């Protein structure tokens, strides 16, 4: 079940993109803080660390299989509105690197974490996962 924002956050009304979508240092600072404080991960969703998922299952008092269903991509704080996706894409190639911004966003299934203010990969999770997303 996806949600739609009815009241835009302040950054949307200001016409500015969230800072972390435009500034890799800000994004990395916020992401690393979330890793340290809320267990954001796993590092590589294509080769997940069983210990990571066992830890999540223990935290949530469930099985590993059930824990693996609680992903950023279906979290109620995962923002994939057209506006925020545009901000993410704009910020990817700010300096004219070889990265194709649309591919980076699509392949990473990126969105913006409204809880922790960073670009978030849809196949990861954290301890603060909330049912009911993404925001579209």
Write down the pLDDT at residue 48: 75
pTM of the model: 0.85
H/E run at residue 79: strand 78-79
For the segment 59-109, what is each residue's pLDDT rounded down to a tens digit?
Answer: 999 999 999 999 999 999 999 999 999 999 988 865 666 678 888 888 889
In the chain, domain spans: 17-121
Question: Is residue 114 over pLDDT 90?
Answer: yes
CA-to-CA distance for 21 and 82, rounded, in angstroms? 13
**Mean pLDDT calculated for residue range 9-27:** 81
Write down the pLDDT at residue 95: 61
Write down the pLDDT at residue 99: 72
CA-to-CA distance for 88 and 82, rounded, in angstroms? 10
Mean pLDDT of the chain: 88
Q: What token pair was written down for 124? A: 């990861």
Q: How confident is the model at residue 25 (pLDDT cuts 50, 70, 90)?
A: very high
């Amino acid at each position: 079940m996806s949600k739609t924002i009815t009241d835009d956050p302040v950054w949307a009304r200001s016409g500015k993109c969230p800072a972390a979508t435009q500034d890799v240092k800000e994004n990395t600072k916020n992401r690393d803080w979330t890793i340290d404080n809320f267990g954001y991960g796993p590092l590589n969703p294509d080769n997940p660390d069983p210990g990571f998922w066992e830890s999540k299952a223990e935290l949530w008092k469930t099985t590993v299989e059930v824990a693996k269903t609680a992903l950023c991509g279906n979290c109620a704080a995962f923002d994939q509105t057209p506006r925020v996706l545009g901000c993410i894409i704009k910020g990817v190639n700010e300096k004219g690197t070889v990265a194709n911004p649309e591919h980076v966003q699509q392949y990473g299934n990126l969105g913006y974490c409204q809880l922790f203010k960073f670009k978030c990969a849809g196949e990861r999770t954290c301890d603060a996962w909330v049912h009911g997303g993404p925001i579209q």
